[in-house]
Chains A and B, each alone.
Chain A
Amino acid sequence: MHPAPSVIVFTTLSGLGFGLLIWLGAGQPAVTGWTALAFFVIAYLLAAGGLVASTFHLGRPERAPLAFTQWRTSWLSREAWASVAALVVMCLYGAGLVFFGERYAWLGWAGTALSLATVLCTAMIYAQLRTVPRWHSALTPALFLVISLAGGGLLAGQLQAALLLLPLAAALQVAWWWRGDRALARSGTDMGTATGLGARGKVRAFEPPHTGTNYLLREFVHEVGRRHARRLRALTLGLGYLAPALLILLPFAHVWAVVAVALHLTGVAAGRWLFFAEAEHVVGLYYGKR
């Protein structure tokens, strides 16, 4: 799949932003006044900034409000609802903390649940696609949720929790890669089933439909980004999960927290690049490519 910058930025930033909102809604940390304002501004910049970035890959962004209409079948539509509901509810909850010094716990928990739902919907947009075997797994939403919780915990200063969640995210990431590397072969879809001619012999793409490239090849066949997959995987594990966990263990952990968050964000972004670049869409089989 084509690793579009807008989608990588969106899933990385909004994942972290909603992760922070999950913790803030739960009252961890229990902040009020200016401190609360600072936390909420960071969370909203990340979450809403990511959502705005996601509209850059639309062909007709001016029609984006129509995306709220099909929540019954479409995870993308559900994500639109969940994200807006989470941002509205957390805005009310945040106003209580910042301006009135009051914590409306029920509102906070509702915001936490909606933020979790948003991350789940984002992940399900990818996990639902049978056409991309690497994504089509329950491990995908699990990975997105744990990364969001770990990053959010790091930002919220919940270092004990982050110390548990970061290794868990790393383990899930490795499991996701391990499964993903075998997913296309296990899906049963190959050039034989794509053409229906597999029983007759070995099928080889002899001539493509056109001499030039096309939308399908640009969007779904991206072999260049996979060249450095190993190094990027190492960076994802090292920067995204290992380094932040080690920094937490150092004395004056809170000073290092900023560095830890920056490293974590870089690592997760590298992982998200691979999430798209390594994903094989079955339509590539018609072109004899992966």
Chain B
Amino acid sequence: MTDLPTTTDRKLGLVIDLDTCVGCHACVVSCKGWNTENYGAPLSDQDPYGADPTGTFLNRVHSYEIQPETGPAQLVHFPKSCLHCEDAPCVTVCPTGASYKRVEDGIVLVNESDCIGCGLCAWACPYGAREMDAAEGVMKKCTLCVDRIYNENLPQEDRVPACVRTCPAGARHFGDLGDPDSDVSRLVAERGGMDLMPEQGTKPVNQYLPPRPRDALEPAGDVDVLAPYLEPVASEARGFIGWLDRALDRLPGGRDGEGP
């Protein structure tokens, strides 16, 4: 049944650090690689080497420009995949029971052999996390690399989602967000992790860490902490330079910055 479980034993999910992400798309590539070669139908491409290539991706990285009221604009790279919501609207709309949320770890999955490809779950998802595979005719979505995280054939350090394992910036973290003492939960508490589209009532498990405030480009006070130590030792020139300084002062026009 596509009833959602009232509680799940764990809430496995991702914490994505928008401060650290450099927008390299390595997570996109590793996700496509792992998930096309392993569990379920491959993530197909259409016209991959032609003029109009498209394909199925479970993870996509957007880039946004944020223009504050004052000051310079900021660029934020924004990876987006399934948020494994507690109130997942994609699950309850499914007519076949192919979509479900696991009681043991909260992962939202699609049983591809039951999916009729009606697309209603993608309509119900506000995040664009589900994509219909054009070759297979079934719905594909992030599995949180369920075939990696419990895979005893892999070394311990590889038992995390492919996107997390590959991120060169350390912008992606994986763990149990239902356990307040887990590393990811502490990170969320420390950095003020946020829900995407909270007003949609989906209660996403994945959390996004907002970018830290940037250093101001035009500071009010000292430019640098070392500035006091870099003050000119001699403020008044002596000798020949001193004579030249005084001589130039007497000429019409005066000192730079003091003129008309």
Give A contacts to B, CB under 8 Å: 1, 57-61, 63-64, 66-70, 72-77, 80, 125, 128-132, 187-189, 191, 193-197, 200-210, 212-216, 219-220, 281-283, 286-287
State the Cβ distance, B70 to closest chain A Cβ, in Å: 9
Interface SS of B by simple majority: loop
User: Interface readout for B31-69 with A: 1 if CB under 8 Å, 0 if not?
Assistant: 000000000000000000000111111001111111111
Q: Please tell me if the beta carbons of A76 and B54 are within 8 angstroms of each other in the complex.
A: no
State the Cβ distance, A200 to closest chain B Cβ, in Å: 5
Q: Quick check: is B169 within 8 A (CB to CB) of the other chain?
A: no
User: Interface readout for B188-209 with A: 1 if CB under 8 Å, 0 if not?
Assistant: 0000001111111100000010
Q: Quick check: is B74 within 8 A (CB to CB) of the other chain?
A: yes
Alpha-carbon separation in the docked complex, A201 to B56 (Å)? 32
Given contacts A130-B200, A193-B197, contact A212 B117 (CB under 8 A): no
Interface SS of A by simple majority: mixed
Contacts of A67 on B, CB cut-off 8 Å? 95-96, 116, 118
Alpha-carbon separation in the docked complex, A69 to B198 (Å)? 31
State the Cβ distance, A68 to closest chain B Cβ, in Å: 8
Q: Please tell me if the beta carbons of A216 and B65 are within 8 angstroms of each other in the complex.
A: no
Alpha-carbon separation in the docked complex, A137 to B136 (Å)? 34
Which residue of chain A has its CB nearest to the CB of B68? A201
Pairs across A and B, CB under 8 Å, 22 listed? A58-B137, A59-B116, A59-B117, A63-B96, A63-B115, A66-B95, A69-B96, A70-B94, A73-B3, A74-B94, A129-B93, A189-B197, A201-B68, A204-B66, A205-B62, A207-B63, A212-B54, A213-B52, A215-B132, A282-B200, A283-B126, A283-B128
Instruction: Assign chain B's interface to a size class.
Output: 35 or more
Which residue of chain B has its CB nearest to the CB of A4? B119
Q: Quick check: is B120 within 8 A (CB to CB) of the other chain?
A: yes
State the Cβ distance, B219 to closest chain A Cβ, in Å: 19
Give B contacts to A, CB under 8 Å: 1-3, 18, 28, 52-57, 60-69, 73-76, 78, 80, 89, 91-98, 114-120, 122-128, 131-134, 136-139, 194-201, 208, 210-211
Contacts of B97 on A, CB cut-off 8 Å? 66, 69-70
9 new A-B contacts at CB < 8 Å, known A73-B3, A209-B62: A60-B138, A69-B95, A70-B2, A131-B125, A201-B66, A213-B52, A213-B54, A214-B55, A215-B56
The listed residue (A59, A195, A282, A287) touching B132 by CB distance below 8 A is: A59
State the Cβ distance, A195 to closest chain B Cβ, in Å: 6
Contacts of A216 on B, CB cut-off 8 Å? 122, 128, 131
State the Cβ distance, B95 to closest chain A Cβ, in Å: 4
Q: Please tell me if the beta carbons of B124 and A202 are within 8 angstroms of each other in the complex.
A: no
The listed residue (A70, A200, A210, A281) touching B95 by CB distance below 8 A is: A70
State the Cβ distance, A77 to closest chain B Cβ, in Å: 4
